[in-house]
Amino acid sequence: MIVIEKILSDEDVSLFRQQLADVPWIDGRQTAMGMAASVKNNNQADASHDVVRQLANKLLAQIGNTPKVVSAALPHKIFPPCFNRYSESEEYGYHVDAAVMRIPDSNDVLRSDMSMTTFLSEPDEYAGGELIISTEFGEQQIKLPAGYAVLYPSSSLHKVTAVTRGERVAAITWMQSMVADTSLRQNLYQLDQTIQRLIKQGNTERKELDELHNVYHNLIRQFTQL
């Protein structure tokens, strides 16, 4: 799991919230597949609405312009972001995201390697509504400030607990990575983040940084699947 700080500014969050308040919402179960539909109880902004599409494209552009997301996911394809809303007593029980998704309005499909939730409500606006991700180290509970996002493997069992007060609004999307192997992708992310830290510290010789960059990009060339 990787937390992305401020993928959306406060101004962007305010804009998203204002515009989402005036768009049509549908029963979230209409967009769930298989077993997930039986445990999904929320609402989803109508993806066919022009304003919703504009917001999705705005967030999509921001995702592509966020270096930490690119480093962590190495995205090849990104599903258009969907906006969901949980009111009091609504929740989404444990489920696994579909392995293959058809991209709307196209014949293209996407293998879901990474999922990303972008929070649009502040934590004190609602009670409950935590994103729970089951990992080998136990359940990880996530509730981030508005504008923050979390990346996690789509293969993980996860849920959103029942909201007991207020309203939780968020966006979710899925990514197909250029590097399918999870452990290799994690190692590449760690290598890239180390290189970025060394650059910021400013006390590593350029020759050594070039050698590290060479290794990093050659590994991506070796394992990229397009």
Residues (pLDDT < 50) of the chain are none
Please give the model's pTM, rounded to 2 decimal places: 0.92
Give dist(CA 168, CA 181) in Å, integer. 33
Q: Is 168 annotated as a binding residue?
A: yes
Does 217 appear as a known binding residue?
Answer: no
pLDDT at 183: 92
Tell the CATH topology of 182-223: DNA Excision Repair, Uvrb; Chain A (4.10.860)
The reported pLDDT for the residue numbered 212 is 93
The pLDDT tens digits for 75-111 are: 999 999 999 999 999 999 999 888 999 998 888 999 9
* Domain positions in the chain: 2-177, 182-223
pLDDT at residue number 138: 86
Q: Is 213 annotated as a binding residue?
A: no
Find out if CATH 2.40.50.140 is the number for domain 2-177. no
177 token code pair: 């990575």
Phi, psi of 225, deg, nearest 5: -120, 115
Nearest CA to 157 out of 102, 97, 84, 89 is that of 97
Tokens of 198: 């060394």
The CA distance from 183 to 187, in Å, is 6
Predicted confidence at residue 32, as pLDDT, reads 73
Among the listed residues 40, 168, 163, the one whose alpha carbon sits nearest the alpha carbon of residue 98: 40
Q: Is there a binding annotation on residue 124?
A: no
